[in-house]
Structure 1
Amino acid sequence: MNRIALVFPGQGSQYVGMGATWHSGFAEADCLFEEAADILGYDLKALCMAGPMTKLSRTFYTQPALLTISVIAFRRYMHEIGIIPEFSAGHSLGEYSALVSSGVLSFGDALRLVQERGRFMEEAAMTKLGSMIAIRGAELGEVEECCRLYSTVDQPAAIACYNSPSQNVVSGHHTSVALAAGELEQRGAQITRLQVSGPFHSPLMQPAADRLAEELQKYTLNEAKWPVISNVTAQPYRDLDSIRQGLILQMTHPVRWIQTVQYMMNHGVKQGIELGPRTVLKNLVREISPNIEVLSLDRDLDRFELGRRFSIRDWIACSLSLAVSTPNANWNEDEYRKGVILPVRRLEKLLRNLQSGSSSPPASEQRQEILECICLVLQTKQVSEGERKAMLEQLRRDQDGAVSNLS
């Protein structure tokens, strides 16, 4: 069974003007930018759209900016596509966006949290003792060996991100990281020194993790609407306490992105949708598994394909066809009028509104209403439970891979 996962990028995906091509003219974007300005005390939209890049790349500013752009992307996805995912997951900072998407954190609370998270991380890095490198062309065992070889308690070096089979990131004390980098280069690996403000996802971030643990106590978490996969365990969070603990551990533990993608793949995910700037996760997933395709909202061709593949108009048309063509076994006129005629008329009205360009509810709301209509029609026509499930599954398949919670 094909399933959808929503994925959210982390720090490093930011750029000046990010998302302008798809959030310009989207009313919810302006509302979120206004809310962000009220909370943060500065014009976040101006920073995102005009820079300067030197300021946008500062962790303290990057984290609220990326969260906001990713949440805008999610809101647009729900407005235009609206399919409930099987999972959501984010890379590092992106995990906060994933938690907002699932309703665990409100946008405002997440924004306050990541602003403080960025502050804690910057202040923990003020000693200038840490650095990070990205490594390609080395086996995982070689990277782990070099980290063990040159890491000490006072000068640690550890894998910070398991990004893909061909890319890992090492973080820690600059002396140990430099020695590990030199060893790996001699073995033929390609090393990229990352332009970041600190040794993220390493033991050197423990002071920031301690402060985040205190900060998290100020916020109320809500039950998730769908599972969010933890960076630390590469498993869905079990409960709210595990979310709090996971966000703290994330500061000093590696991002297990390879394992996260493998978990999704093992649980039937075939389609990923990247919500945020750039296509970093799309590219990483392609390296991890050929069985999951990721479409990125920040890529013009992918946005077009999203609209084509998951067309709400097609969903209504297929549902309407199923409702009309299914044989009836209920001859109670009153039940037939309420349970068949009225739902069919509602589907016809929704389709007419879309075809005429009239204002319509968000796609997420329409999909729920359409599902309720078609389920009522099938039940009223006295279709057996087994046949109903088969019809709904076929309806899902007819939409070119689109999925929903149909059972």
Structure 2
Amino acid sequence: MSLTAVIFPGQGAQSKGMGRDLFDAYPEQVDQASALLGYSVRELCLDDPRRELNRTEFTQPALFVVGALAYRRWKDEGGTGAAFFAGHSLGEYCALHAAGAFDFETGLRLVRRRGELMAGAAGGGMVAVTGLDRDEVTDLLRQGGFGSLVVANDNSPEQCVVSGDAASIEALGEFLHERKVRWVRLRVSGAFHSELMRPAQQEFRRFLDGVALGSPATPVIANATAAPYPAGAVAGMLADHLVRSVRWTDTVRYLLDAGVTEFVELGGTVLTKLVERTRAAHRTPAVRAQGLGSAVFRERHGLRFAYVAGGMYRGVSSPELVIRLSRAGMLGFLGTGGLDPVEVERGVKEIQAAVGQDGPYGVNVIANHDDPAAEEELVDLLLRHHVRTIEASAFIQMTPALVRYRATGLRRGPDGAPICDHRVVAKVSRPEVAAAFLAPAPDAVLDRLRSSGAITAEQAELARRVPMSHDVIVEADSGGHTDGGIPTVLLPSMLELRRRAEAERGYDEPICMGLAGGIGTPAAVAAAFVLGADFVVTGSINQCTVEAATSDVVKDMLQDIDVQDTEYAPAGDMFELGSKVQVLRKGVFFPARGNKLHALYTHHDSLDDLPEKTRSLLERTYFRKPLDEVWADVVRHLRATGRAELAEQAARQPKQKMALVFRRYFGYSARIALEGRPDDKVNYQVHTGPALGSFNQWVRDTPHASWRHRHVDEVGLMLLDAAAAHLSRFAAR
């Protein structure tokens, strides 16, 4: 079946005399536009007496008027049956108007404000590069150390536009010239479609909040995602449009793969040439890294790739790690477990300074079963800094702090549907916990929060209409805390839970599920997506990268492990419950010693009940000091952290006292590993899983065999690209 796509060009398509055959045909619309703009759009386009047509604030309204009128004439002349609409940058507004998302006047108001804000951007620049595709240009940027520059427009397999600060753009020109790469500096003052447009994006978002926008009646392919606009997403995507890349090549590929055979360009001719170049290079549809997983998930979090790096204990998932991922279009979570609030706040500020408050990033929140007040304090900090996404780990029930975070981010949209400004990405390994996150917050918790004034009545009402998490990470056997689940059993079961929850609740927004645990090779990534995962989550492999905030000694140890070099040990934070973590076994005694301590706790009632020989062994090799001194350290720590009552209670309960003393070993063993203390390597506690061993095998005999050549974003891209190639080969067979 033949399908038609109607497409609209953007800035750069303007020319003196454009629209001449349209203005007389539609005088009412021309007069309406001129009245709204405060100047004659006819005079601007046909005569340009003040040489304003090439100024952004005038170009964009003019192009919108011409595009909208061109579409009206196309329909009047019998043009019907458009299966898709798309537009390049500013042209996307024409596409949305044609698809019924907003009327002519609303569209003109939008582009006028957009043009004003973009015209006000300064200090940036853009360079068009020809003869290379996006991946080749991206590689050149990496080679040249141009980390602040981005591919802003991917126009065809042979043309890209790079955007960024003016100094780096100038240096890039020299770099390209030396390599005989064809390029031209564009006549713009701003770094459009880059992070430097973030202030304009935030101002435009506030403007959009006051505009009533609908959803397209016909699919519109978004520049930012190269996929159709989801329902209710127009405002958010138009705001993000200013800072995100124009993926025109992928847009054309999407349309070709969807069966489009005819492209009708209205309002210009520049896109037709780009379409033909992409069509000429298009063969049997290949799987691409950017197309893996769920477009909904990518759009929801402002990502290029459905790829997530989970938060790791004590800040191993460092600000630097999260920033690298964010800039690559991936989602990383800052590790907070074991850190004090000052360290967490410092990390959040560092990330926000680098990627913006609304950039793709998140912060890990671990359930604090011992100290709920600390959990509340962390949530207060995140709310104070307007952190929009958290990763909820180790929760077995919905705590007041977690519910408060979710509910305070809810507001009512123009159509009455809940808009979620706070995202809780839940990490689960048990069906009953998954079910709790797939359901709305418990009524009892919402009622208490409402009564205390922590949330409003409207937030409480909206919280009953959304799940606690629209994004759920299904965690199979992994490094760190694990229930040892099998991914091929666990994920299908969780997907069925999701199906039931969506069917029963009728949520306005779809739920996405990702897979974590064992993700260390391209085949594992591909298998996750084949199983139905909307995104993949890596953990252990990220601990062995340049950006991971652990010691070089640990990284040296980890880069050489194989799949059999890990073991299960008790989790220090849930010692009494017998919960397990997966840790490094090769070269250390920690797994054996951790399990020994738990066995002693199970079989003895107090420290005084321990055999003298055993007690002496613990003091000499585990703690390196008398147990009485260890207990004194515990008491000082509890008092310093406002938990003196717990110390007093444990002093009266010998079993609890023993648990607190034994827990001290787990804190010590984690700390010395992070510090890389050379005098006690045998006691290192290093959370990791066999996925790292499989990754080490994959990169053996390559430069990435050394962790010093592993950057977290490059590792993600390597895995995704190779997984896409793996799936393409499989499909071809």
Please, what TM-score do these two structures have when normalized by structure 1?
0.67
Q: Is the 8 A contact 1:59 1:197 kept in 2?
A: no
Aligned position for 1:200:
192
Q: Is the 8 A contact 2:163 2:191 kept in 1?
A: yes
SS in 1 for 2:82: coil
SS in 1 for 2:7: strand
Work out which of the residue numbers 153, 166, 169 in structure 1 matches 2:161. Answer: 169
Aligned position for 2:275:
285
Q: Does 1:237 align with 2:216?
A: no
Q: 1:179 to 1:145 in 2, by over 3 A?
A: farther
SS in 2 for 1:172: strand
Work out which of the residue numbers 251, 260, 266 in structure 2 matches 1:275. Answer: 266
Aligned position for 2:145:
150
Amino acid at match of 1:3: L
CA positional deviation for 1:272: 0.6
CA positional deviation for 1:220: 1.0
Q: Separation in 2 of the partners of 1:261 and 1:103?
A: 21
Q: 1:140 to 1:103 in 2, by over 3 A?
A: closer
Q: Separation in 2 of the partners of 1:150 and 1:55?
A: 37
Q: Separation in 2 of the partners of 1:121 and 1:84?
A: 34
Structure scoring higher RCO (CA < 8 A, sep ≥ 6) equals: 1
Q: Does 1:212 align with 2:204?
A: yes
CA positional deviation for 1:280: 0.7
Amino acid at match of 1:161: N
The RMSD of aligned alpha carbons is 1.6
CA positional deviation for 1:159: 0.5
CA positional deviation for 1:24: 5.3
Q: Separation in 1 of the partners of 2:17 and 2:260?
A: 31
Aligned position for 1:180:
172
Q: 1:53 to 1:162 in 2, by over 3 A?
A: farther
Q: Is the 8 A contact 1:143 1:184 kept in 2?
A: no
Work out which of the residue numbers 111, 116, 120 in structure 2 matches 1:123. Answer: 120
Amino acid at match of 1:151: F
CA positional deviation for 1:53: 7.1
Work out which of the residue numbers 65, 80, 83 in structure 2 matches 1:83. Answer: 80
Q: Separation in 1 of the partners of 2:50 and 2:62?
A: 12
- Between the aligned residues of both structures, percent identity stands at 40
Q: Separation in 1 of the partners of 2:214 and 2:256?
A: 27
Q: Is the 8 A contact 1:70 1:97 kept in 2?
A: yes
CA deviations 1:356-397 (Å, max 9, x no partner) are xxxxxxxxxxxxxxxxxxxxxxxxxxxxxxxxxxxxxxxxxx
Q: Is the 8 A contact 1:171 1:202 kept in 2?
A: yes
Q: Which runs of 5+ in 1 are unaligned?
A: 293-407
Q: Separation in 2 of the partners of 1:291 and 1:177?
A: 29
Aligned position for 1:93:
90
Aligned position for 2:7:
7
Q: Does 1:56 align with 2:48?
A: no
Say which is worse superposed, 177-186 or 34-43, in terms of deviation: 177-186
Aligned position for 2:645:
none
Q: Which runs of 5+ in 2 are unaligned?
A: 283-733
CA positional deviation for 1:202: 1.0
Q: 1:227 to 1:291 in 2, by over 3 A?
A: farther
Q: Is the 8 A contact 1:157 1:171 kept in 2?
A: yes
Q: Does 1:222 align with 2:214?
A: yes
Q: Separation in 1 of the partners of 2:104 and 2:184?
A: 34
Higher radius of gyration, 1 or 2: 2
Q: Is the 8 A contact 1:89 1:95 kept in 2?
A: yes
CA deviations 1:246-287 (Å, max 9, x no partner) are 11111011100000000000011000100103x110010011
CA deviations 1:266-311 (Å, max 9, x no partner) are 011000100103x11001001100499xxxxxxxxxxxxxxxxxxx
Amino acid at match of 2:61: P
CA deviations 1:38-68 (Å, max 9, x no partner) are 1111111111111147311111111100000
SS in 1 for 2:4: strand
Q: Is the 8 A contact 1:150 1:180 kept in 2?
A: no
CA positional deviation for 1:97: 0.5
Q: Is the 8 A contact 2:133 2:156 kept in 1?
A: no
CA positional deviation for 1:183: 1.8
Amino acid at match of 1:131: G
Aligned position for 1:350:
none
CA deviations 1:141-173 (Å, max 9, x no partner) are 331123333335xxx211010000110000111
Q: 1:24 to 1:121 in 2, by over 3 A?
A: closer
Q: Separation in 2 of the partners of 1:71 and 1:261?
A: 21
